[in-house]
Amino acid sequence: MTDAPVRVVVADDQAAIRTGLVLILGSAPGIEVVAEAADGLGAVAEAVRLRPDVVLMDIRMPGIDGIEATRRLVGDGVCDVLVLTTFDLDDYIDDALAAGAAGFLLKTVEAPALIAAVRSVARGDGVLAPEVTRRVLARLPAPTAPAPAQVPGLDELTAREREILGCLGEGLSNAEIAARLVITEATTKTHVSRVLTKLGLRSRVQAAIAARSAGLAG
C-alpha cells in the first residue's frame, strides 16, 4: 500500500523555483513529480489529465492564480492541493484555505519539511507552516461551540419554545410569529415570556441575539 509512489504536480511560474522544488521532491524516495506547470490553467489541466495525489501550487501566477486553480481542483474533487507561497499574508492564507487547500507552506520551508508536508497531504492530512499556524489558531476561538453556543437554559426549552426562539432570531414580531405558527398572538406572548424567563433574558432583542448565536436562525 505504502509503496505506491506519491504523484505530484508542481505549479510555479518561476522556472528556477519550480526546478528547485522538482529536484527536492524528486530526490525523496516515494515521491514522483509527474508534471510541471507555469500557470494556473496549466496546473489545472495537468492535474485533470494525470490525476496526481498532490498539486504543489504557487499563488502568484499568470492567468488564473493558484487560489482559483485550487478552488477548481478541490471543488471538482480532482486532488489535494498544497499551497506554497513567498508571502506570509493573512489574505493569502484565508483565501487558500477557503479555496480548500489541504496545506499552506511558505517558501522558506526546508527541504525535509517540504517532503514531509507533501507526504502528509497525500496521506489525507493537512499541513500549516508553523509561522502561520498560531495566527490561524488565534482566529478560531469558537471551533468547539459555534452551533451549541453557550445559552444556559437552552436545553430547558420545549420544542415549541425553541421554535419561538428561532422566530425571534429572525426579527419577527409577536403577530408575525403567531401567523407563522398558526396560533394567537396571546399564545405567542406566553411562549416568548417563557423563553425569556428560562433563558434569563429581559427582552426579545436579547433573545434574538441568543437565538442567532445559538444557530437557531439564519
Instruction: List residues binding its own copies (CB under 8 A).
Output: 90-91, 94-95, 97-98, 102-103, 112-113, 116-117, 120, 123-128, 130-137, 139-141, 143-144, 168-173, 201-206, 208-209, 212
Binding partner selected for residue 108 from its own copies, DNA, none, CB under the kind-specific 5 to 8 Å limit = none
11 forms beta bridges with: 37, 57
Residue type at 174? N
Q: What is the residue whose three cell numbers read 493537512?
A: 126
Among positions 182-211, residues that touch DNA (CB under 7 A) are 183-184, 186-187, 189-194, 196-197, 202-205
Q: How far is the CB of 128 from DNA (least distance, A)?
A: 42
**185-199 vs 174-181: helix crossing angle, rounded to 10:** 110
DSSP H or E segment with residue 104: strand 103-106
Q: How far is the CB of 159 from DNA (least distance, A)?
A: 5
Q: How far is the CB of 151 from DNA (least distance, A)?
A: 17
Q: Would you count residue 51 as binding DNA (CB under 7 A)?
A: no
* Cα–Cα distance for residue pair 7/24, rounded to 1 Å: 14
Among residues 60, 126, 125, 118, which one has the least CA distance to residue 89? 60
